[in-house]
Amino acid sequence: MRIQDPRDISTSDKSRISRRAGGTTTMGLHIGSTAPDFEQDSTEGRIRFHEWAGDKWVVLFSHPADYTPVCTTELGLVARLKDKFAQRNAKVIALSVDPVDSHLGWVKDIEDTQGVKMNYPILADGDQKVSKLYDMVHPECDPKITVRSVYFIDPKKKIRATFTYPPSAGRNFDEVLRVLDSLQLTDNHSVATPGNWKDGDDVVIVPSLKDPEVMKQKFPKGWKELRPYLRMTPQPNK
């Protein structure tokens, strides 16, 4: 496995490098950090992560172990949602701390029990190098498995959002799609998304935008000012 060359890490990222038990170097990954590159085996062959990602958004999500019930349902669900991710210019890739042979056997179970064909790779991270690189192993929880982490990575290889569930709680992948929609919308328009927002709902005009003439150009459908800092407008790309 190839870890990102320290010379390629920005000054701000270098300041977050720390030394973990066992002598493994890892980065404290934050929103805005460069997603570390790596090379690792998977159910679809050897993957060089940045090369594999190309110019797509990536959702990287981890699983505690193979042949576990909650993971089986999650992986099947994401397979059914793959087209929805593709519509958002996004690729999905899973990770579990077991070898490829184990993954391939598990894939048969997933396809049989979930009624779907697996259509994206599962990283085989038996040495936990990728898991530790992305801080997916939480020793206080269980040092032998990963928690349920999700990383949203944009085409510039920047981490744009993350969340983590315990091993016992299956993730809501409608929420994963919702976050992806929000990130892409707010990248292209001067808006933010309010609580419980769904694609098509009204959005918030960012407080930094104050020029009424510019606002008229950006938001021809108008807006409602509830407070000077809270201005609601129809979703601009709808």
Point out the catalytic residue in the list 71, 133, 180, 205: 71
Q: Is the pLDDT of residue 233 over 50?
A: yes
Where are the strands (E) in the chain, listed by range? Answer: 17-19, 25-27, 39-40, 47-48, 57-63, 90-96, 122-124, 148-153, 159-165, 191-192, 203-205, 224-227, 230-233
pLDDT higher than threshold 70 for residue 87 = yes
Residue 158 scores a pLDDT above 60: yes
**Given this model, what pLDDT does residue 197 score?**
98
Residue 126, Cβ density class (10 Å: 0-12 exposed, 13-18 middle, ≥19 buried)? middle
Pick the CATH number of 6-171 from 3.40.50.2300, 3.30.70.2740, 3.40.50.300, 3.40.30.10: 3.40.30.10
Catalytic residue status for 141: no
Categorize the per-residue pLDDT at 143 as very low, low, confident or very high, splitting at 50, 70 and 90: low
Lowest mean pLDDT among 44-53, 88-97, 124-133: 124-133
Q: What's the average model confidence in pLDDT over 178-186?
A: 98
Domain spans, the chain? 6-171, 189-233
Kindly report, residue by residue over 25-67, the tens digit of the pLDDT: 445 789 999 999 999 999 999 999 999 999 999 999 999 999 9
- Mean pLDDT rounded to a whole number for the chain: 89
pTM of the complete model: 0.86
